[in-house]
Amino acid sequence: MTDKSSGKMNRRSFVIKLLTGASGFVTLLVSIPVIGALVAPVVRPIPPAWRKVGKVADFETGKTVMVKFRNSSPLPWSGQTSKTASWLRKISEHQFVAFSVNCTHLGCPVRWEADAELFLCPCHGGVYNKDGSRAAGPPPAGLTHYRVRLKNDNVEILASPIPITTLLEKKHG
């Protein structure tokens, strides 16, 4: 709506055009990730990787400790987020067991309570037995186990993507 005699745009038509342009811009911004997700190539599975967590002699038989290691899929810019952890227990001189630190309910970090011999999730009250099996609360399954091997007197864990995302993909996929 322009004033026909002077050729100038009035205030109302200017505001309408401004709002229409802003709405189009916001729609474009919101639609970019949606379109990207629809046409994205199929994501290749991330291969697991063996990660050294310490020497066999560093661990005490019967004791559960947290060990930290680099994720199996670190990105160059990921910094601290490329690190993950596991609960590791030395069962005998040549046998170890490792559990994910992530609860199978929603991925919160579980803690080991040595006196009770239980893993506890502080987020929603999940409880796991010493062997990683589900004891109580909302978790749908026991803690995810990592494969462990001994190589050249080192303890190594087969690192994989965060287990909770794998569990959710199986549940909803």
Tell me if 111 sits within 8 A of 122, measured CB to CB.
Answer: yes
Count of other CB atoms within 10 angstroms of residue 100: 26
Taking only the tens place, the pLDDT of each residue in 96-109 is 999 989 888 888 89
Q: Which amino acid is at 3?
A: D
Average model confidence (pLDDT) across the chain:
82
On the question of pLDDT at 168 being above 50, the answer is no
Distances (CA, A) of 33 to 28, 37, 39, 41, 169: 9, 6, 10, 14, 20
Strand (E) or helix (H) holding 31: helix 11-39
Residue-level pLDDT at 169: 42
Nearest CA-CA partner of 101 in 47, 145, 167, 60: 145
Four-point Cα dihedral 149, 150, 155, 156, nearest 10? -40
DSSP letter assigned to residue 109 = B
CA distance 159 to 162: 9
DSSP letter assigned to residue 9 = B
On the question of pLDDT at 170 being above 50, the answer is no
Taking only the tens place, the pLDDT of each residue in 134-165 is 999 898 899 989 999 999 999 999 987 655 44
Q: pLDDT band for 172, please (50, 70, 90 cuts).
A: very low
> Considering only the top CATH level, what class is 49-172?
mainly beta
